[in-house]
Amino acid sequence: MSELKIELSELMTCNDDLKDEFSRLSKESKITISPSDLMKEHIKRLKQYNELRDTGLRLAQLIANEKDSKISEIFEEMGFDMKD
């Protein structure tokens, strides 16, 4: 049981350190929103990015279908890499 208490104490200390670091970095970067709001905004932007990426891939697939070629060939023609 004492091992669990020690681990809990270490985790709480780590959590406090992370909160302090977030506060410091927020002040440096002039961020005025809470960590949870910042995370929600980040997730929202990731969703937007994924939607745009998916739309781009669908458009590239339409072009590939029209040219009767592979999507990788279309990306190569446009100078893009297939890696995300």
3-state secondary structure of 63: helix
Instruction: Assess contact for 30 and 40: CB atoms under 8 A.
Output: no
Q: How confident is the model at residue 14 (pLDDT cuts 50, 70, 90)?
A: very high
**pLDDT band at 84; cut points 50, 70, 90:** low
Is the whole-model pTM more than 0.85?
A: no
CA distance 8 to 33: 28
Answer positive or negative: Cα dihedral of 47, 49, 54, 59.
positive
Per-residue model confidence as pLDDT tens digits over 38-73: 899 999 999 999 999 999 999 999 999 999 999 989
Domain-wise residue ranges, the chain: 1-32, 33-84
